[in-house]
Amino acid sequence: MKTLFTNPVLVKELKLRFRNLKSFTGILFYLIAMSVFVFGFIFLATSLTGNGFFRPDESFMLFSMMTYIQLGLILFITPALTAGTISTEREKQTLNILLTTSQTSFQIIFGKMTSSIAFLLLMIVSGLPIYSLVFLYGGVSPSQLLYIFLFYMLTLLAIASIGVMFSTLIRKTIVAIIATYGAMIFLAGVTAFFLLISVQVSQMGMTSPATTMSPMAHFWATINPPAVLLTLLQPPMEEQLQTVTMVPIPLWIGYTIFYILLTAGSLLLAVKKLRVNMNKYK
Amino acid sequence: MIETIGLTKKYGSFYALQDLNLVVEDSTVFGFVGANGAGKSTTFSILATLLQPTAGDAFINGMSVTKNPQEVRKQIGYVPDFFGVYDQLKTDEYLDFYGASYGIKPKERAVLIPKLLELVNLENKRYEYVDLLSRGMKQRLCLARALIHDPKILILDEPASGLDPRARVEMRDILRELKTMGKTILISSHILPELAEMCDSIGVIDNGKLIAQGSVADIQAQLQSEKVLRVKIIGDMQAVVSFFEMDPFVSQIVELQGKNTLQFFYRGSEEDQLQLLQRAIQQKLPILSFSEEETDLEDVFMAITKGVEIG
């Protein structure tokens, strides 16, 4: 833990990030938008029903919506924060000097990624008081909230690792950002499309319920963050999906394994490719 | 000590560096001279473990840059030809960051940083943002940064390029001080006179090949064997050109625009030169004057790199 906070790149990046007014205005506008949404929803729910009170099922609906909004925030902001970490240094001509220091490639990559994630985590944590408002009205358990935050952490780590990897492999920041958004869109959007197709194909010519396994449909659902989040919010959805795919493994298990592997693979590649392999020609 | 053995860098069929064999002894200053694109920065990048050689190897204090790059990094202080600085970071924070990057403890850094800033004459800029410093100051700060871990070897790629005359003098003074501190310095420039006075020896590189190496005096002596002669003419220029072209010691005849003057390199002895002049007079060539040009280190460089452009 001590070495984590003495990582020079991490300390420097945090210092630079929080000296930047953009960071504070970013958090401010995020919190304003979130407050408007939450209070607006509560106001509409209470005034439209005319009851003057907010029911637990409405509270859960608000929680679900906010959870998806947070996921959207992670998916859209993480690439922008991480895909320029190394390529910006390269463009600003500061990378060569950094690479001639005695810091290991892992230390540099780790410091860069952690500083980007730290900012995003701060953003999420700063929204917690507004998020926790749903507890006032019931309908959501603290353990559910914990699982969802663990899910956020894993998703954030994976997307951040992909961003850092592209930033290391691709010289231009703009291209690295596009590539990271491409990967994010694939994971969050294209896999959902593949899931629908796989379900359709597996059910072709069959009368419900399904009798054969559809591992592909299960796989696409497993790596799709919105689908996994849905099963965390609505556990019955998990059972429903299992009746279609006939694969009796909870989605979160596959999701955890896949995203840990994706994170590790991306980071490993970034660490390996940060510096030239001086001994390659031998 | 710095040593390169058959160091080669190839991009496709193009040789950026070809079979470079170089030895820089401890506590000496070695100047690496060459035109832009000659291979200086390629050599320095390999030595700084930023570029992988295609063949050969380089050794820093006996450690191979290809086999032990992590250890080599601790031994060298590298100043690249082009570098950027971080915005919104103050001068002392900039040095503190790099000090931490070399694993220097915070207490030691706190003592080191003011000393280094004093060495590069930036003590009054300690709390200024680095991106607001002038080019010369940034260059000196980068030098201080390269010294933070007290390396024995300094690799400085064109440290004076783009600086105004005053900043160049300041940089030269700092390098002189580093020399007295016993650092081994490998410094490059495309301007030979800039290096001459502070270097113990120099190497001239052209098209990726080391074409001359030795002390400044040795390199200068090479020039003495090749004089630059000027001949002023009144009348038929072509006849005079044809006459000199016939002489085996004459090379690279150039007509100085609008001056009715020819200039060429002459490799012969003084007796040969006398005979050449006597023959010209016998043939009644319209020569008004025949003189030897004063040459400086710039001419040496131009002559050695064959990029002679006189006039």
A62: Cβ contacts below 8 Å, ≥ 6 apart: A38, A41, A42, A45, A134
Strand partners, B186: B30, B155
By the 8 A CB rule, do B39 and B17 touch? Answer: yes
B270: Cβ contacts below 8 Å, ≥ 6 apart: none
Q: DSSP assignment of A129-147, as one string?
A: HHHTHHHHH-S--HHHHHH
Backbone angles phi, psi at A57, to 5 degrees: -70, -30
**CA–CA dist B243, A77 (Å, integer):** 77
Q: Residue A172 has what pLDDT?
A: 94
Q: Closest partner residue to A281 among B53, B65, B80, by Cβ?
A: B53
CB contact under 8 A, B149 and A102: yes
Q: State the average pLDDT over residues A24-30.
A: 90
- Condensed to tens digits (0 to 9), the pLDDT of residues A108-136 reads 999 999 999 998 889 888 888 887 777 77
By the 8 A CB rule, do A278 and B66 touch? Answer: yes
The yes-or-no verdict on residue A196 having pLDDT over 80 is yes
Q: Residue A211 has what pLDDT?
A: 63
Q: Residue A263 has what pLDDT?
A: 97
Cβ neighbours of B84 in A, within 8 Å? 92-94
What is the number of alpha carbons within 13 Å of residue B295 lying toward its C-beta?
A: 27
The yes-or-no verdict on residue B225 having pLDDT over 80 is no
Cβ neighbours of B66 in A, within 8 Å? 278-279, 281-282
The whole model's pTM is what? 0.82
Strand partners, B196: none
Q: Residue B128 has what pLDDT?
A: 94
**CA–CA dist A193, A190 (Å, integer):** 5
- Hey, which of A48-52, B52-56, B235-239 has the most confident mean pLDDT? B52-56
By the 8 A CB rule, do B263 and B256 touch? Answer: yes
B164: Cβ contacts below 8 Å, ≥ 6 apart: B136
Buried b (16+ CB within 10 A) or exposed e, B208-241: bebebbeebeebbeebeebbbbbbebeeeeeebe
The yes-or-no verdict on residue A250 having pLDDT over 60 is yes
The yes-or-no verdict on residue A87 having pLDDT over 60 is yes
CB contact under 8 A, A93 and B80: yes
* B307 — pLDDT class (breaks 50, 70, 90): very low
What rounded mean pLDDT belongs to chain B? 87
The yes-or-no verdict on residue B164 having pLDDT over 90 is no
What rounded mean pLDDT belongs to chain A? 87
Q: Which two tokens stand for residue B217?
A: 């005096």
CB contact under 8 A, B97 and A97: no
- Burial label for B33, CB within 10 Å (0-12, 13-18, 19+), is buried
CA-nearest residue to B147 within chain A is A101
Cβ neighbours around A214 below 10 Å, total: 20
The yes-or-no verdict on residue B301 having pLDDT over 60 is yes
The single-letter code of the amino acid at A269 is L
Q: Residue A144 has what pLDDT?
A: 83
Q: Residue B309 has what pLDDT?
A: 40
Higher pLDDT, A183 or A239: A183
Q: State the average pLDDT over residues A38-46.
A: 82
Q: Residue B311 has what pLDDT?
A: 31
DSSP A187: I
B303: Cβ contacts below 8 Å, ≥ 6 apart: B223, B226, B265
**CA–CA dist B130, B86 (Å, integer):** 7
Strand partners, B232: B261, B289
Q: State the average pLDDT over residues B250-265.
A: 82
Enumerate chain A positions whose Cβ falls within 8 A of a Cβ in B: 6, 8-9, 11-12, 15-16, 19-20, 92-94, 96-104, 275-282
The single-letter code of the amino acid at B62 is G
State the best of B50, B87, B89, B142 to mutate against chain A, taking most chain A CBs within 10 Å.
B50
Q: B236 vs A41, A234, B193, B259, CA distance in Å?
A: 99, 102, 38, 14
**CA–CA dist A62, A114 (Å, integer):** 31
The yes-or-no verdict on residue B213 having pLDDT over 80 is yes
ipTM: 0.85
∠ Cα B71 B77 B82 (to 5°): 120
Q: B64 vs B3, B24, B210, CA distance in Å?
A: 9, 15, 21
SS (H, E, C) chain B: CEEEEEEEEEECCEEEEEEEEEEECCCCEEEEECCCCCCHHHHHHHHCCCCCCCEEEEEECCEECCCCHHHHHHHEEEECCCCCCCCCCEHHHHHHHHHHHCCCCHHHHHHHHHHHHHHCCCHHHCCCEHHHCCHHHHHHHHHHHHHCCCCCEEEEECCCCCCCHHHHHHHHHHHHHHHHCCCEEEEEECCHHHHHCCCCEEEEEECCEEEEEEEHHHHHHHHHCCEEEEEEECCCHHHHHHHHHCCCCEEEEEEECCCCEEEEEECCCHHHHHHHHHHHHHCCCCEEEEEECCCCHHHHHHHHCCCCCCC
Cβ neighbours of B52 in A, within 8 Å? 276-281
Q: State the average pLDDT over residues A195-220.
A: 77
pLDDT above 90 coverage of chain A, percent: 50
* B20 — pLDDT class (breaks 50, 70, 90): very high
- Hey, which of A205-209, A255-259, B23-27, B233-237 has the most confident mean pLDDT? A255-259
CB contact under 8 A, A100 and B78: yes
**CA–CA dist B4, B32 (Å, integer):** 13
Q: Is the dihedral of CA B188, B193, B196, B202 positive or negative?
A: positive
Q: Residue A184 has what pLDDT?
A: 96
CB contact under 8 A, B97 and A20: no
* A93 — pLDDT class (breaks 50, 70, 90): very high
The yes-or-no verdict on residue B295 having pLDDT over 80 is no
Q: B188 vs A215, B198, B200, B298, CA distance in Å?
A: 63, 12, 13, 15
Q: State the average pLDDT over residues A142-158.
A: 90
**CA–CA dist A35, A41 (Å, integer):** 10
Cβ neighbours of A276 in B, within 8 Å? 49-52
Cβ neighbours of B97 in A, within 8 Å? 8, 11-12
Q: Residue A174 has what pLDDT?
A: 95
CA-nearest residue to A91 within chain B is B84
Strand partners, B24: B2
CA-nearest residue to A275 within chain B is B50
Distance of CA A90 to the CA centre of its chain: 26
**CA–CA dist A24, A28 (Å, integer):** 6
